Amino acid sequence: MHSKTRAWMHGFIGMLMFSGSLPATRAAVRGFDPLFVTAARASGAGLLALLLLLGARPPRPRGRQWWLLAWVAGGVVAGFPLLTALALRQVSAAHSLVFIGLLPLTTAGFAVLLGGERPRPAFWLFAGAGALLVGAYALHAGGGGTSHADWLMLAAILVCGLGYAEGARLSRSLGGWAVICWALVVSLPVTLPLALLQWPAQLLDKPLAAWLGLGYVTFISMLVGFFFWYRGLALGGVAAVSQLQLLQPFFGLLLAAALLRETVTPAMLGTTFAVVLCVAAARRLA
């Protein structure tokens, strides 16, 4: 199979897994405190990552790679999960999901700044068009204004884009699955004690949906999804493959409608179709 095809396949699978992150987080924060959700998902995935590293024994990071892993951990292990959990205490998953469409631009922007990637101008045209479509829909859904939760989501998108870009760079030397595992393990000295400190008093009284949401973001969003996502970014280039993130909010909307019973409007479906066209054009011209 051609390397570009494998890159897009890995990226697509990772994107599908990440599509369930915000609906699952929304379900989790209905029963648990956002800080506990953040620490629990990171520490649970971190303990599993530690076992994987001990079993597989991949090459250990060296020198500056440890510093880059700290940036990855700050973005995708701590920053994005905490900021989105805080936002999802205030707004629905459907409202938050539209902001995910901005991730391709932040990821590609950091890739240009940090990795020296230079996509064609037409790539930026279609990437920008897709992001504008998502941004316009977000403003329309919010009545033309922004809330505190909107600013939390914007901050989450920025730190996540940085984590994706740095993780993709490290994936070329360490391997995609090892990058997220090392980032989780590096975070364990902070996330594990924090999870224990935030441990709920009435743990068994929490609703089943909250437990299922916490389990999903721990093992799928925080670990397995990154195996596929970082591999796709490393094979196909960050700026190109990251455009698959434009599809993520709309797969997430379907999950939010099915699992959380949130409404999917014709405007959402129309925007989805337009964004798919932008992704296809960006892929062809990247």
H, E, C per residue of 2-42: CHHHHHHHHHHHHHHHHHCHHHHHHHHHCCCCHHHHHHHHH
pLDDT of residue 279: 74
pLDDT of residue 100: 81
| Whole-structure pTM value | 0.86
CA distance 178 to 52: 9
Residue 243 DSSP label: G
Alpha carbon 264 to chain centroid, angstroms: 22
Distances, alpha carbon 136 to alpha carbons 18, 132, 212, in Å: 22, 6, 32
Which residues make Cβ contacts (< 8 Å) with residue 132, sequence separation at least 6? none
Per-residue confidence of the chain (286 residues) as pLDDT tens digits? 677 888 889 999 999 999 999 999 999 999 999 999 999 999 999 999 999 999 998 889 998 899 999 999 999 999 999 999 999 998 888 888 878 877 877 887 787 777 776 777 887 888 788 788 877 877 776 655 557 888 899 899 999 989 988 888 888 888 778 999 999 999 999 999 999 999 988 877 889 999 999 999 999 999 999 889 888 888 888 777 877 877 888 899 889 998 888 887 777 778 777 887 887 777 676 5
pLDDT of residue 249: 81
CA distance 180 to 49: 8
pLDDT of residue 219: 95
CA distance 205 to 280: 46
Task: Select from 20, 21, 163, 178 the least CA-distant residue to 78.
Answer: 163
pLDDT of residue 216: 97
Residue pointed to by tokens 């959990």: 85
